[in-house]
Amino acid sequence: MTGPVASLNTAWFALIGMLWAGYFVLEGYDFGVGMLSLAVGRDDMDRRLARNAIGPWWDGNEVWLIVAAGATFAAFPVWYAAMFSGFYLALFIVVAALIVRGVSFEFRGKRDSARWRAGWDWALAVGSLLPAFLWGVVFTDLVHGLRMSPSGLYLGSFPGLLTPVAIVGGLASLAMFVVHGATFLSLKTAGPLAGRARKVAIRLAVPSGALVIGTAAWLSAAGSHGPGQLGGAVPTALAAACGLAFSVSGILVRLGLDGFAFALSALGVLAAVAAVFTAMFPRVMVSSGPGPSLTIWNAASANLTLVVMTVVAAIFVPLVLGYQGWSFWVFRQRLTRPAAQPSPSWRTSARRP
């Protein structure tokens, strides 16, 4: 299929990939900071500083997930139905973890109790770890292939999603987000907390990149369902670029170039998402049989729907990107520990820097 219809289908597949990439870049450092808040936070003040580092953005970053899901529903409803039904339990766990994570920000400072705050610190860490791992499982399965019926429904169960390569893919995304969060903490905080975050980034930068490259190599070797239209070279090169970006980010952290390190880890996440989408294209769900794969042709909405959506996206996407950049500029200052510790009765919201 060629012409305007084919162009719109391809454009919306690419735009949805960009929305997922934006979500993983922005929510990725949120997940990383949430997981690291216990590992690098030596006391209550450290853990609160880690929360405050992502305080202005964590809830706004989750909007990217809603927009990505909504765009998938509108542009490719068959893909939305197949993906959200097939991955129902995994996505339910992700949503539940995100709810617990969000509640932890709101409730942590409601009581002056060390035990109460410690419980919500664990809620933040677990609520960050589960999505960071499960998103890697989901997108690895999308590339690796699933048992699909002739009508486009997933024929397996939740345990069937946890194949060895999918678990490795989940560990790769988990490691990426930990490093991404560590580079963000090293950029956004100062003092001993930033120093401990830098150590995490330096130690895990190369292993996280190696996990991404290893997952890509495994998928390429096991790719019995055929490469996408772009072939295997493009996603392999993007996965290699992701591994290189994370490895170099660790070097930049060691050199004290925190801003460049964070930018490079963000580019690494972008490259990983691009590798997933280029490996699938023009498929949106790869089938291992007995039914065919879903593609941007047989899963798409009507052309008029895509035209209207394109006009709306052309208006609002630049506004959202501009606002996101403005918010980073406004809250660009590093956070530091107070010169004097507050009294035990002093309370503040965990969301506010």
Weakest-pLDDT range from 32-36, 166-170, 329-333: 329-333
Q: For the chain, what is the mean pLDDT?
A: 87
Smallest Cα–Cα separation from 270: which of 224, 229, 239?
Answer: 239
How far apart are the C-alpha atoms of 79 and 71, rounded to whole Å?
Answer: 11
| Residues linked to residue 294 through DSSP beta bridges, in sequence order | 285
Distance CA 202, CA 234 (A): 28
**H/E run at residue 288:** strand 287-290
CA distance 298 to 308: 19
Per residue in 224-234, pLDDT (tens digit) is 555 566 667 88
Look at residue 229 in the predicted model and tell me its pLDDT: 64
Determine contact, residues 66/159, Cβ cutoff 8 Å.
no
Residue range 35-48: mean pLDDT, rounded: 89
pLDDT for residue 344: 40
Which tens digits make up the pLDDT trace of 113-151? 888 999 999 999 999 999 999 999 999 999 998 988 888
272-330 pLDDT, tens digit per residue, is: 999 999 999 989 998 887 888 899 998 889 888 899 999 988 888 888 888 888 888 88
**DSSP type of residue 12:** H
Taking alpha carbons only, the member of 230, 162, 163, 192 closest to residue 337 is: 192
Region of poorest pLDDT, from 28-37, 256-265, 331-340 = 331-340
Closest CA to 192 of 335, 52, 341, 352: 335
The answer to whether residues 249 and 201 touch, using CB atoms and an 8 Å cutoff, is yes
CA distances from 75 to 15, 171, 243, 304 (A): 10, 30, 32, 10
